[in-house]
Structure 1
């Protein structure tokens, strides 16, 4: 079965170097594995995301985007760097997704910026974000500065893109089944162990300690 790869790009311009990097990563992943690619441009959902943040209810367009991400076999997430971190639009989109909905999802993180000195955003901001969401982030993250495009995106950038794409392709299809609810996933044998364990209320435990004294 062909795997579903969703690409989330938070570039604001048109054309956008962020979208260009996202497209290269998607194409490289497709070379390593058969995938159906869906691209989500967050700039087109900016108003919907803002409304969801204040009302708690997604528009149909935003709901479709969230469903695409949470049901995907793999995700490529690309953001421009703003003030040393991911953009507010990028963060807001992932804020409206349930914190358990990306559990086990293979993710490739990438970013674009004006200079190479912003490249640490991948490690101090993006990787921790998806680790918190319990996604599986591939080892190689990709950062593209303005100078990387001077040679048409070839050389070192092309090598990083291909390596990261290969890592993501290798993880496609490995995501465990999504839990029926937003609670933590239950693995085989875990439920039986929980049912066999008697839960003692905390107040009762405190009372027992008082008697022992």
Structure 2
């Protein structure tokens, strides 16, 4: 599977976390190529399977399918409610059972919901470090929605800006994956230019170019 996968850690029904996830997904799909597949993973439905996986080391069929969808996605939207000034335990547990290399290089849009604007720093103090550790490419704009943000100015603009950034990165990620499959990622080949005139150069190649010749 490829396309866009949305991970929502809301617990209630209806959930402001799921509402934000849906708005982010719709906005991203609006910026992405027509036909982009969108799948939502509701963690509340996987709570028991996640707990069993943590204790047994084996995922159930439903959890395995969700983990596979996240691994294969071209882009990811992750949304968590704020609990005790951080992401929820259920949210963290899902990414604890995900393969450590599953998000390497994958574009991720981080978002959170809370009762007060005082928790907005959760994006930069908890979510961004987590996904940087997992080697994901986190989009510059994170989206936090406090209770007072719904229906107020500012939130729709943040959603659109973050969605546009994610869609742009997804296009590059899907292109790199397709190019790697066709070229076998052979050393020495010149990366192909994208339609917008830019050339995507893997970070490892950029780093190698900066090293002194004697150390290569």
TM-score bracket relative to the smaller structure = 0.7 to 0.9
Give the TM-score taking structure 1 as reference length.
0.80
Q: Offset at 1:187?
A: 5.9
Give the TM-score taking structure 2 as reference length.
0.79
The 5-angstrom pairing of residues 75-86 of structure 1 reads: 75-86=76-87
Number of the residue aligned with 2:117:
116
Give the one of 159, 165, 178 matched to 1:161. 159
The 5-angstrom pairing of residues 13-52 of structure 1 reads: 13-34=12-33, 35-52=36-53
Deviation readout 1:20-49 (Å, 9 max, x if unpaired):
000000000111113211000000000000
Q: Offset at 1:189?
A: 2.9
Structure 1 unmatched ranges of 5 or more: 179-185, 191-213
Count of residues paired in the alignment: 180
Q: Offset at 1:177?
A: 3.6
Do 1:106 and 1:172's aligned partners in 2 also have CA atoms closer than 8 Å?
Answer: yes
Do 1:3 and 1:172's aligned partners in 2 also have CA atoms closer than 8 Å?
Answer: no
Structure 2 unmatched ranges of 5 or more: 179-183, 189-216
Do 1:114 and 1:146's aligned partners in 2 also have CA atoms closer than 8 Å?
Answer: yes
Q: Offset at 1:173?
A: 3.1
CA RMSD of aligned residues (A): 2.0
Q: Distance in 2 between matches of 1:101 and 1:11?
A: 23
Deviation readout 1:103-131 (Å, 9 max, x if unpaired):
11100000000000000000010001110
Number of the residue aligned with 1:6:
5
The structure with more radius of gyration:
1
Number of the residue aligned with 1:94:
95
